[in-house]
Every structure is written in structure tokens, then in C-alpha cells.
Structure 1
Amino acid sequence: MDIDSIRQTLIAFVENAMGVAVSKMEHKRDSIGFSRMIWTAEVIDRAGKSKDYIVRHDDGNGPFSLITTKSITHEGRLIDALFKSGLAVPEIFAISDDGASLIMEKCGGIADFNEAGTAKPALTRSFAACLARLHATDSAVPTSATDGPAGLPGDLDEYLAPYRQHCRPNSIIDAGIDWLRANKPGAPSKRVLVHGDAGPGNFMFDGDRFIALIDWEMAHPGDPMEDLAAIYFRTYIRGGGGDILDWYRPYIAASGQSYDAGGIEYFRFAQFCKAAMLAELFRATASPVNEAIFAAPLKRVEASLRWAQGDTALLDEMGFPPIPVRL
């Protein structure tokens, strides 16, 4: 379906679901990541007032289209449950019958942490408190985990299965998965609901006011250190995050979790492998493909393989400092 056809389909979805007239439907796609389509719907309500909603849509041309456990329906139901539990997340208004689209609240503020300026310390504390609350969320919140005693930790198997099915074998990724399988950490003292992509760029804020955690498609039950690894990943990929301990210290204080540097190192490696598998899945679904975007994810896995052998030079060269041994 071309972009204009998708626009018309989404206009009809919003108008039918919300009982309003759509005056504008604009598309924005993340130029860095491999996420789903994001649209902004400007509507005119019954009182004649203008209001914006966010519409997320799976057009079938992205890696999450191939990861069945990461569906739009799952994401929408999860966010809805978290919103009703009182967590700072966007409100969900509707999920399409075909499961390809959802309508959610457009939160105010911005997501670019580089623009936070002097508000960064207050925002990292508020973010840490929100993440700690997420990790304390009741286990009844819907999740999509597939891991078990024979599987890989967290949701790694959810990425590995479609990668094996749809992508050409890649020796670097395969070596990374072999290392992760051979070096699995012990089970966490408590499995929590993990955001999976937490950190700078994935929460909204206005000045020093934290508004909401966003982008939940990678959420799953697992080890809380997975989210600390995600914070590391986003801090040094996106930039602007500052000292990683400025994120870790308030989280540990707010959550009461034990700090596990070795666990964060393991899940940093896992995060790099996930990103590389997502890139390969993107290669399998998108056309045309810009081959230049696939080099960095593979290089990060290669750097992790060297790190596992005691060589940190490539990680250092790429701007990834050591995980602090202690807080």
C-alpha cells in the first residue's frame, strides 16, 4: 500500500473510532531507528476545537512486522494496562480491528534529551523514579516473554526466530548469539516488566517536568539490568545523556535493586545483538535499502566479541566506555 493509501486508511480509522473529522494526517518516521510508522492526526472535535493524536501503524515494511510477539495490538494493550495502573504513559484510545494501527494521546513536550539543558538532573531523577515504578508493576500486566530454562534471557529468542527465518546467516551475529547462549547470567532475584528501550529519547518532558515514557514495542518481562543496559545503549548512541552513573544512581536509590555491573555488561552485548538482528530484519522487509545503515550495528557486535576476549579497543574507538564496576 502506498503512502497516500495508508493516509486515507488511517483517516477513516481515526474518524470512525473517535467520532471526529480529521483535518490533517502527517507522517513522521524515525530516521535513526527501525520502528513503526508514526502519524500525527489533527482533528476537529464536536465543539469545533482542534486536537492532535498520535497514530502508530505497522505497514509491513519493518522488522517488527516479522516479530509476531511485538504486535501493535500487544503494544497497545500493554500501554493501556500501564496507563490504568497510574504509570506515566500515553493514553490509548483505540486499536484497529486488523491490529495494524492504534490511536494514542499526543503528549506535550519534547523527547530530545540534548535539548534538556540545566533540567537534565531533575529529569534523570524523575525518569529513574518512573522506571523503578515500572519494575515494581504487578506481574498481571500483559507481556509476551518466550524465554525459559533452555532459551536465551529476556526476549532475545523473539528476535532470533524471525532472524533465522527471514535473513541470510551472518557470522558476526551468529557468534554473538553463541556467546550470549554460553554465558547466560543467573536468573534475577525478581523478574520485572522491562521497557526494553529505556533511556534518553524515549520519554517526553517539558522543561524540568517529566511527562511520559514512550515507545513500548520492545517491552517484555526480564531482568531489571536489561533496562540499565538499554539506558547505556541510548546514552552513547543518541548522545546527550552525560555520565551513565547520573542515570544509574537515582534508579538504584528509587528501586532498591542491587547494582550488577556484570549483568549490565551481558545485556549491553544482548542489546547490540538485538539491534543488529533488527537491522537485518529491516534489510529483509524494506525496499530499497540503504546498505550504509547496516555497518554500525554489526561493528558493535564485533566490538563486543572482542571485549569478551579482553580487547576493549574497538568499543573505546566507537565511544562506548566501560560499565562502572560500582556506583
Structure 2
Amino acid sequence: MAEEFTHDLPDGMTDWIAEAGGGRITRLERHIARREAWVVDVTRPDDSVGEYFLRLDREGDGSGTHSVKHEAKVQTALAEAGLKVPAICAWNEGLQAALHERVPGRADLDNAEPAEQAAVLEDFVHQLAHLHSLDPAALSLDHMPVPTTSAECALGEIDFVEKFLDGMVTDPLYTFALQWIRNQVPEHLDRVCLLQGDTGPANFLFEDGRVSAIVDWEWAHFGDPMEDLGNICTREFFAPSTPDEGLGPVFRRYGELSGIPVDLDSVRYYRVQQFVRSIVSLARITEINDPQMPNAMNRAYRYICERATCEAMADAMGIELERPELPEVETTATLEGVIATNLMDEVRPAVADDFARHRLEHAALLAECLDRQRGLGPHLEHIENEEIAALTGRVPSSLADGLMELDGAIREGDAGPDAEVLRYLARRAWRLEYLWKPVVDLFPGRTFSRID
């Protein structure tokens, strides 16, 4: 009965799902997320229902890490080791698709009551300590390299994501941040273990005060356990789940349960590393402008993460940043504004499908951003050119020219003291966040929680 559903899945996918589930497809819905996934129900002849979550790679053969095939291998190994992960119910090599067990639970820990947040985080820390206790040699994950030095742990994922830039993006923040990552590798490495690589709130499900499943393992790799603690900082930044006390108690509890000393300097380093990985990946994605991508959400993440990268580096360096004054937006009637209003006021009420309505709302936000850039863009470009001139000694002919020149100066070590360069990059990041405010407001007011 798959033909009853509207979808753009590859040929043969629905037949395989029905066969793997032992029945007929009775639910097929696109999941609202940054990475493509589908919610699927298969009703069997005895009226029992198999509830699945479909992940697929539309391109590639799954031969490397960070793929759906890689994720399925990791989850299979971890399920055998007793970790709370969704089971892989079926794998299709030709379609590069995995049917995951659909585990009950919710992911929005930031919306839970404080008592439940504390209980869930306690259970999550137990799971994380268990993960980090596993012997890499016993996990049958031979396709994954095992680093042996602190530098290999710190830079392996950076080497991978830096390839995403591939000459498409030249930006002084990215150059500065990548240099910082390579120059500040932690000296201490307690052990090498399997990491989720993107762990923390919103990447696990919870129910009744307990973790029901840890999800999203495509970034899993072997490395320094402090990296996962840095990852928790970045995920909790977007899904604040420790209202008053911050992450310090979570990290102390992790140390008690795991027996691994918590090195807060390393945690600060890996907090930066995680944001750098994010902005580098997002830079390429947002330059492509693929209509299949969640473009508004990706833009929101990119500009918030750029500002957070600056703040995280400043914290690690002991530098105070200066938030710039932000100009008012000129309000005039524009075609972009008409598009946004028509979509939201007239089209949205007629759209019933959740995924389609989500796409429509985000398209309207992008139109609002274009409207905002018409009014703010020239003024902000003038500010940027003046501030770049203060660092390079030359007023650029255009913002693109100025950013290119500053990028080159950073590469050559001629842009001035790191503290002054970072302060400028942070001011620019705040202005970009302000320029893209309609999409940035999908995640308003994001700040770091204390880690000590």
C-alpha cells in the first residue's frame, strides 16, 4: 500500500521496507530534522505493528565513516554491549538504508521540568560512563581508525570536516579558528575510547525520568573522552537543561562514575573544536543552497555557532569580548516582505502536512532575511570595512575584498594580536547573527552554561 503515500524515496525502498517489516506500510512520514529520516509503520497480517525510523544515504556507498552504514555498525556494536541505542532491524546495502527500531520518548529535555532534567541527566551520565569504559578492541569496529596521540584525537575530525571547505568558502573566522585548534591541542590524554562525537541533550530520547535511547551516531569515532564532554557543552547550549547549577555537577558525576579525571581545559578546547567542526560543515551546506536541505535551520545554526565559536575561544584564552552596537532596521515595503506575509497569512492555514508546513514557515523566514538584508546590509558593510581597515591598514574596496585580505593576513600571521583579531571576528559574528535574526530566532538567546 506504499503507493497511497506521497514520497520521493528511491525506487524499491518501500517494497524493501514492507518486506523487512513483514507486512504493508501503513504510515510513511518525512521526519522534521536536519538529516533526512522517515517515520514508518508496517502492519503485519496478525495486525501487530512494526514501528521504525528510516535513515538513508542518497549518495555514496557507505564505505567511510559518518555514513548511515557506519552509524548502523556502531549502533549494532553498542546494542550488543548493553548501551541504550535503537536496534538496527534491517539493512539494505544497495539502497544504503537502515531501518531503526523506533524507541518511545521525547528529545526536548530543555522543555522538561527541572526535577526530570536532573534525573534524565543522571541516567545519561551513567550511559556515557558505560560507553567510555568499553574496550575499543572488543567492539568489532575495524573500519574506524584508533588514534594513539592527543593530536590524532584532537585533529582527526578536524581534518575530515576541513575538506568540506574545498575552496568554496574563504572566511577569516574559519582560518583563525582552524589555526587555533591546531595550535592548542591538549597535552594530556587519559585514554582513547569510543565517542558519540555529537553527544548531549537532543541527541537522546527520554521517558519517565530515564534515557530511553541515545540516537544519532553518525559522528561516532575513537578519541579523547573529554571531547564528548565538550560536545555536551555545545548541545546544552542549544537545549539548555541545567537551569541554575550549570554543567559542573554533571561533569563531576561523570568523573565519579567513569573514574576518568575531568580536565576542564580539555573540555574548553573540545567545546571550541565541536563548534569549529559545526561551522565548517555548515559553511559548505549553506553555500550550496540545496532546496532539499533545511536551509533556514542551517543558516540559524551557522550564524549562532559562529558567534559561539568566538565566545568559546575567548573563554579558553581568558579574553573579554565586546558586543557591538547594532543599528535599527529600516522598515520599507518590499517584495520579500510581501512574499513572507502571503506565505504565512494565506498559504500556511491551507497546509495540513506537518513537514510541508514546516518547509513553508522556514521559506517565509528566509524571505524575511532577504528583506532585512536590503535595509541593513549596506550599513553593516560600511562598519565591517572600517574595522577590517583597522587590522590590515587598508580600507577595502568591498567587503569581499576586505575579508579576503584579512584572511590572508591571518594565514601569514600579519593581522595583529590574536586578542584584537578575535574581538573583531566576534563583533562581526554578532552582526551576522543580527542580520539573520528571523532564522536565528528559531533558537533565541543562546548562552553557555557554567562548566565548573
Q: So what's the TM-score if we normalise by structure 1? A: 0.86
Of 93, 104, 107, 1:97 maps to 93
C-alpha offsets along residues 230-261 of structure 1, whole Å, 9 cap, x if unaligned? Answer: 11111122223332123212211110110101
Kindly indicate whether the alpha-carbon contact (under 8 Å) linking 1:111 and 1:204 is maintained by their aligned counterparts in 2: yes
Distance 1:66 1:42 in 2: 25
Q: Corresponding residue for 1:120?
A: 117
- How far the C-alpha of 1:50 sits from its partner, in A, is 2.4
1:263 counterpart residue number: 266
Alpha-carbon distance between aligned partners in 2 of 1:94 and 1:284, rounded to the nearest angstrom: 35
CA RMSD of aligned residues (A): 2.8
Deviations 1:53-112 (A, max 9, x none): 11112345xxx9999421111110110011011111110112221363210100011111
SS in 1 for 2:164: helix
User: Which residue of the partner structure matches residue 169 of structure 2?
Assistant: 168
- Cα distance in 1 for residues equivalent to 2:58 and 2:64: 14
Alignment match, 1:320: 448
**Percent of aligned pairs with the same amino acid:** 24
What amino acid maps onto 2:7 in structure 1? Answer: D
- State the 1:310 CA deviation: 3.0
1:52 partner SS: strand
Instruction: Tell me whether 1:132 sits opposite 2:133 in the alignment.
Output: no
Compute the displacement of 1:263 (Å). Answer: 0.3
Corresponding letter in the other structure for 1:239:
P
Measured in 1, the distance between the counterparts of 2:131 and 2:234 equals 19
Comparing 18-27 and 102-111, the one that deviates more: 18-27
Match of 1:179?
A: 180
Aligned pair partner of 2:66 in 57, 67, 70: 70
Letter of the 2:48 counterpart = K
Give the conservation status (yes or no) of the 8 Å contact 1:71–1:99: no
**Which amino acid is 1:45 matched to?**
R
Query: Could you list the per-position Cα deviations for residues 31-59 of structure 1 after superposition, in whole angstroms to 9, with x for gaps in the alignment?
Result: xxx4x211111110231222311111234
Per the alignment, residue 247 of structure 1 pairs with 250
Note the C-alpha offset of 1:206.
Answer: 1.0
Residue 10 (structure 1) aligns with: 13
- The structure-2 alpha-carbon separation of the partners of 1:279 and 1:120, relative to structure 1 and needing over 3 Å to count, comes to same
Gaps of 5+ in 2: 1-5, 324-425, 431-444
Moved more, 208-217 or 263-272: 208-217
**Alpha-carbon distance, 1:217 to partner:** 0.9
Offset at 1:161?
4.2
Partner residue in 2 for 1:109: 105
**Aligned pairs for 1:227-306 within 5 A:** 227-242=228-243, 243-288=246-291, 289-290=295-296, 292-293=299-300, 294-306=302-314
More strand as a share of residues: 1
Give the CA deviation at 1:299: 2.1
Offset, 1:177: 1.0
- The answer to whether the 8 A contact 1:79-1:91 is kept is yes
- For residues 161 and 147 of structure 2, the distance between their equivalents in structure 1, rounded to whole angstroms, comes to 12
Q: Residues 309 and 213 (structure 1 numbering): CA distance in 2 closer, same or farther, change over 3 Å? A: closer
1:229 is displaced (CA, Å) by 0.7
Residue 58 of structure 1 corresponds to 57
Q: Decide whether aligned partners of structure 1 residues 286 and 44 sit closer, same or farther in structure 2, where only a CA change above 3 A counts.
A: farther
Aligned pairs for 1:189-204 (under 5 A) are 189-204=190-205
Deviations, residues 272-302 of structure 1 (Å, cap 9, x unaligned): 1011012113225542444843322222223
SS in 1 for 2:94: coil
Distance 1:231 1:270, change over 3 A: same
In structure 2, the partner of 1:311 is 319
Q: Name whichever of 304-313 and 129-138 sits farther off.
A: 304-313
1:86 maps to 82
**For the residues of structure 2 that align with 1:132 and 1:155, how far apart are their CA atoms?**
22
More helix by share: 2
The answer to whether the 8 Å contact 1:147/1:154 transfers is no
Match of 1:144 in 2: 144
* In structure 2, C-alpha distance between the alignment counterparts of 1:147 and 1:309, rounded to whole Å: 26
Contact 1:25 1:39 in 2 (8 A): yes
Instruction: State TM-score, norm by structure 2.
Output: 0.63
- Over 3 Å counting, the alpha-carbon distance change for 1:227 and 1:209 in structure 2 is same
Change (3 A) 1:148 1:298: farther
**Is the Cα–Cα contact under 8 Å of residues 11 and 25 in structure 1 kept in the other structure?**
no
SS of alignment partner, residue 42 of structure 1:
strand
Structure whose CA Rg is larger: 2
C-alpha distance in 1 between matches for 2:167 and 2:23: 40
Cα distance between partner residues in 2 of 1:299 and 1:115 = 24
Q: Which residue of 2 aligns with 1:156?
A: 157
Secondary structure, aligned partner of 1:73: helix
With CA pairs under 8 Å and 6+ residues apart, which has the higher RCO, 1 or 2?
Answer: 1
1:17 shift after superposition:
2.6
Structure 1 residues 189 and 210, CA gap change in structure 2 (3 angstroms)? same
With 17-26 and 282-291 compared, the bigger mean Cα shift is at 282-291
Tell me, yes or no, if the aligned pair for 1:89 and 1:212 is still in contact at 8 Å. yes
Aligned residues: 315
Alignment partners' CA distance in 1, 2:110 and 2:191? 33
